[in-house]
């Protein structure tokens, strides 16, 4: 399974970095707690928008530290692995704990590049599983598929999610544009991420998942 999945369409437009990305102190951990908090927030939103742009659900820090995300070649500044880990660590914490609102989640025991050390790969929740669940429910509602059994593969890779998304854009017009984008967003989603979203729906009683590992079917109520 690929740890990063980027669709051809989104990779075509280059990622627009925020202005702070070119601010050299951005890459140095700040000792002042207020400044540090603000810095972490900026990093968090940068990582989220980076992952969203590249359709990345799992971020392997070992690979990412050499990517433009953590390495600003123009400034010759980078966030090293430990610092990147600190940032993601902060993102995994709840906001009440002074963290980044659980926008990331460590994947325990995940191997990346032969590195089995803990805290090397993380889910980056630019949409939290609960939010993904909402997106799915919305899509089911709009497309009128309540009560229909779908396979997970269909949801993630199926033609329907692409075409539905696109047709919706044309149907609903510009005012619904944002929502239409969301609807198509889970196309090409990481399977495990999709399962997490579906599990949220199961818990809510809005769907049931059945079938074997790898060939799950899902029914929305």
Partner 1 sequence: MFFKSLDLTTALRPLLLPDETLLFVQDAVGLYEGKYKIPDYQNGHAYLTSHRVCYVAAEEPRKFSVGIDLKEVDRAEYQAGFFKSSPKITLYPKPQKGKTDKSRSATASPAVSQQSSLLPVHPSSPRPHSVVPQPSASPKPVNATWICPICSFSNPVPSNFDPATATATTHLPPCLACGIKPPFITVLKAAISAAASRDSPLPSTTSLPTEDNAQKHGGHSGSSGLMGSVSCPRCTFVNHPSLIECEMCGAPLTTGGPSIQGDDASRADSPAPFFAQSRIANSEVTDSIKLSFRNGGEKTFHERLKGALIQRKWLLQNAPPVPLPSQAAASPSGPAIATLESPQPSAPRVTAVGIAGLEQRGLETRMNNQLVIGNAFEDLEALMASAKQIVALAETLARESGMTTNGGASAETNAVLSESAAALGMVTTKDMLSSGSENLYLSELSRNLAEYLTDDRKGILQREGGIMSLIDLWAVFNRSRNGVELISPSDFQRAAELWEKLKLPVRLRRFKSGLLVVQRYDWSDEKTVRQLQEWMEELRRVPPDETIPWDWTVFGRAVTAQEAAQRFKWSVGVAAEELGMAEDRGLLCREEGIEGLRFWSNHLVA
Residue 102 CA to residue 21 CA, distance in Å, equals 22
* Closest CB 35 distance from partner 1, rounded Å: 5
**Which stretch in 19-27, 53-61, 126-134, 188-196 sits in contact with partner 1 by CB under 8 A?**
19-27
Site for partner 1 in 62-81 (CB under 8 A): 72, 74-75, 77
Smallest separation (angstroms) from partner 1 to the CB of 40? 10
The residue from 7, 10, 25, 118 that contacts partner 1 (CB under 8 A) is 25
Residue 26 binding partner 1, by CB under 8 A = yes
Rounded Cα gap, residues 217 and 202, in angstroms: 12
Under the binding rule (CB under 8 A), the answer on residue 49 touching partner 1 is: no
User: Whose Cβ is closer to partner 1: residue 35's or residue 163's?
Assistant: 35
81 versus 150: smaller Cβ distance to partner 1: 81
3-state secondary structure 130-179: HHHHHHHHHHHHHHCCCCCEEEHHHHHHCHHHHHHHHHHHHHHCHHHHHH
32 binds partner 1 (CB under 8 A): yes
Answer yes or no whether residue 175 interacts with partner 1 by CB under 8 A.
Answer: no
Residue 16 touches partner 1, criterion: CB under 8 A? no
Query: Quick one: which of 7, 10, 22, 80 contacts partner 1 (CB under 8 A)?
Result: 22
Q: Which is nearer to partner 1, 27 or 57 (CB)?
A: 27
Does 56 bind partner 1 (CB under 8 A)? Our answer is: no
Q: Closest separation between CB of residue 87 and partner 1, Å?
A: 13
Q: Report the residue number, 32 or 170, with the smaller CB distance to partner 1.
A: 32
Nearer Cβ to partner 1, position 23 or 106? 23
Quickly list DSSP for the chain. --S----HHHHHSPP---GGGG-GGGGS--SSHHHHHHHHHHHHHHHHHHHHHTT-SEEEHHHHTTSTTTEETTTTEE--HHHHHHHHHHHHS-GGGTS-SS-EEE-TT--BTTB--SSSEEEE-SS-HHHHHHHHHHHHHHHT-TT-EEEHHHHHH-HHHHHHHHHHHHHH-GGGHHHHHHHHHTTT--HHHHHHHHHHHHHHTSEEEESSTTS-EEEE-
Note the residues at the interface with partner 1 (CB under 8 A).
19-20, 22-28, 30-32, 34-35, 38-39, 42, 72, 74-75, 77
């Amino acid at each position: 399974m690929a740890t990063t999945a980027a669709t051809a369409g989104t990779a075509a437009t280059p990622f627009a970095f925020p202005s702070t990305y070119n601010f050299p102190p951005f890459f140095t951990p700040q000792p002042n707690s207020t400044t540090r908090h603000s810095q972490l927030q900026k990093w968090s939103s940068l990582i989220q928008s980076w992952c969203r742009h590249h359709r990345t659900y799992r971020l392997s820090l070992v690979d990412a530290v050499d990517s433009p995300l953590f390495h600003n070649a123009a400034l010759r500044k980078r966030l090293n692995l430990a610092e990147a880990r600190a940032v993601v660590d902060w993102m995994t914490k709840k906001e009440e704990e002074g963290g980044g609102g659980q926008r990331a989640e460590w994947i325990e025991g995940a191997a990346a590049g032969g590195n089995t050390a803990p805290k090397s790969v993380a889910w980056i929740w630019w949409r939290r599983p609960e939010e993904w669940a909402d997106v799915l429910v919305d899509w089911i509602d709009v497309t009128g598929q309540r009560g229909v059994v779908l396979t997970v593969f269909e949801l993630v890779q199926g033609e329907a999610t692409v075409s539905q998304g696109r047709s919706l854009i044309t149907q609903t017009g510009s005012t619904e544009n944002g929502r239409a984008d969301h609807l198509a967003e889970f196309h090409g989603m990481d399977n495990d991420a999709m399962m997490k979203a579906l599990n949220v729906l199961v818990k809510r009683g809005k769907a049931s998942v059945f079938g074997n590992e790898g060939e799950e079917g899902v029914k929305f109520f």
